[in-house]
Amino acid sequence: MQRQISLAMTGASGAPYALRLLQQLLRADCHVFLMISSAAKVVLATENSIKLPSQADKASQFICDYLEVESGKLTICGKEEWFSPVASGSAAPKQMIVCPCSTGTLSAIANGASDNLIERAADVVLKEKGQLILVPREMPLSTIHLRNMLSLSEMGATIMPAAPGFYHEPTSIDDLINFVVARILDHINIDQTLVSRWGYHKQQ
C-alpha cells in the first residue's frame, strides 16, 4: 500500500523548505495530501515567484512540473474541503507535517480551533495519536509562542524550528534548505541523501 502523508504550508516565511520537502516525499513514492493556506500562497509568490492556478487539478500539475516529479501522487485539498480524507480520523494519514508553520497556525492547533482544513487535519492527527511535525520559522519567539509550543509538545507533537546547522559546511542556500528537510525526513523514517549524518561527512 502506498504511503500517505499530509503536508500543510502556512503563511510563515520558508516556502523553499516546503517545496523541497514535497519534492522529496513525492520522489519517495508517497501520496501527499497538500494543503496551502491563503497566506502561504502569498509567501510562495514572494519567495519563489509561484502563482498557483485556482483549480486544484491544474495546481497539482503545475507543482509537479515545477518540482520535476511525476504527477498522480499529489492531491491538493481546499481549505474548506471537509470531505477530504485528512478531515476524518478514519481516513486521514497518520503522519502530518506543517512546513512552514506560522505562529497563528501553531496557536490554532494548540487550542483546537479547527476553523479550516489545516487546523482540523492537525487536530485529527493529534487525537488519533499519530505523528505531527510543526516547522515554525519565526524569531524572536514570544512567551505566547513558547507556551503554545510547549503545549503541543506535551500533546505529542514534534516541534522542529527551521534552524539549519552548519557542521556539513554549507556553501549555498540549497545546502541550508536540505539540512532542515533532511532532519524532517529522518523523523518520518524516509531515507534521504540530501545531507550526510554527523560524523560521516568528514569521512567522505
The pLDDT of residue 35 is: 98
Range of the domain at 44: 4-165
User: How many C-alpha atoms does 158 have within 13 Å on its Cβ side?
Assistant: 17
The pLDDT of residue 198 is: 76
The pLDDT of residue 200 is: 64
Question: Could you tell me if residue 9 is inside a domain?
Answer: yes
Q: How many domains does the chain have?
A: 1
pTM: 0.95
Name every residue whose Cβ is closer than 8 Å to that of residue 116 and which is 6 or more positions away in sequence: 37, 79, 80
Question: Could you tell me if residue 43 is inside a domain?
Answer: yes
Question: Could you tell me if residue 179 is inside a domain?
Answer: no
Question: Could you tell me if residue 201 is inside a domain?
Answer: no
Question: Could you tell me if residue 66 is inside a domain?
Answer: yes
Question: Could you tell me if residue 199 is inside a domain?
Answer: no
Q: How many CB atoms lie within 10 A of CB 13?
A: 14
The pLDDT of residue 1 is: 79
For residues 116 and 99, give the distance between their C-alpha atoms in angstroms, rounded to a whole number.
Answer: 16
Question: Could you tell me if residue 190 is inside a domain?
Answer: no
Q: What is the dihedral of CA 54, 59, 63, 68, to 10 degrees?
A: -140
The pLDDT of residue 95 is: 98
Question: Could you tell me if residue 14 is inside a domain?
Answer: yes
DSSP lists the bridge partners of residue 77 as 35
DSSP state of 132: E
The pLDDT of residue 79 is: 86
CATH number at residue 25: 3.40.50.1950
Tens of pLDDT along the chain (204 residues)? 789 999 999 999 999 999 999 999 999 999 999 999 999 999 999 999 999 999 999 999 999 999 999 999 999 999 889 999 999 999 999 999 999 999 999 999 999 999 999 999 999 999 999 999 999 999 999 999 999 999 999 999 999 999 999 988 999 999 999 999 999 999 999 999 999 877 765 544
Q: Find, among 4, 38, 45, the residue nearest to 118 by Cα.
A: 38
